[in-house]
Chain A
Amino acid sequence: DGGITQSPKYLFRKEGQNVTLSCEQNLNHDAMYWYRQDPGQGLRLIYYSQIVNDFQKGDIAEGYSVSREKKESFPLTVTSAQKNPTAFYLCAGGGLQGFNQPQHFGDGTRLSIL
């Protein structure tokens, strides 16, 4: 089995705490993406990376951080600066630097505040 693997499936954050969401892929995708989805809403881009050691901010990057030290991994940290983190977080991977390629999604992580 393979594809885009996100963990954990559910995550709870205490106030003032940073939490990290994992995203791993074995599809050799160059590009990887993080989206946030609020209930009944669409997908908003948080960060994306086209190549190892490089990433760009999306539309709602404030309060989040990422790293891309390995091609296979693109973890997302939700920092204490993100005051409303409760949402469904989706990681996706794309083809050759993502240009005009479909994105394939993981199963998501649901983050809630304790």
Chain B
Amino acid sequence: GENVEQHPSTLSVQEGDSAVIKCTYSDSASNYFPWYKQELGKRPQLIIDIRSNVGEKKDQRIAVTLNKTAKHFSLHITETQPEDSAVYFCAASPYSSASKIIFGSGTRLSIRP
């Protein structure tokens, strides 16, 4: 069935440096890829999303890239700040059931002061 793999599971970066989280998906017909941020004990919140007709999307310090050929997409956070510390989930919407979203297993990002 559809699967989304996410790496790394934990990531620690120095404040001000960049962080990159990578995901791969199995359904080549997937066409919607959201990213969520979940702070400890809170709900996941959508931070950025991208559709398959776009290769890259930016929103201030956050960017997402999509490589449909390789079936992978990545989240890039630049100039990291302490408030970026959280768990980040990638997700993909499979063509076979476009009302569902398949989530990756999450990346715990820690920002070192």
Contact = CB atoms under 8 A, between A and B. Distances in A.
Interface residues of A, number: 22
Contacts, number: 47
Interface in A13-32: 31
A105 B44 contact: yes
A31 B99 contact: yes
The contact size tier of chain B is 20 to 34
A5 to B, nearest CB: 11
A99 B51 CA distance: 12
Contacts of B25: none
A98 B104 contact: no
A48 B99 contact: yes
B43 A99 contact: no
Contacts of B89: 42-43
Contacts of B42: 107-108
A94 interface: yes
A103 interface: yes
Interface in B89-113: 89, 93, 98-101, 103-106
A43 B103 contact: yes
B105 A100 contact: no
23 contacts: A31-B99, A41-B106, A42-B89, A42-B104, A42-B106, A43-B89, A43-B103, A45-B100, A48-B99, A48-B100, A98-B99, A98-B100, A100-B31, A100-B32, A100-B51, A100-B98, A101-B32, A102-B34, A102-B49, A103-B101, A105-B43, A105-B44, A105-B45
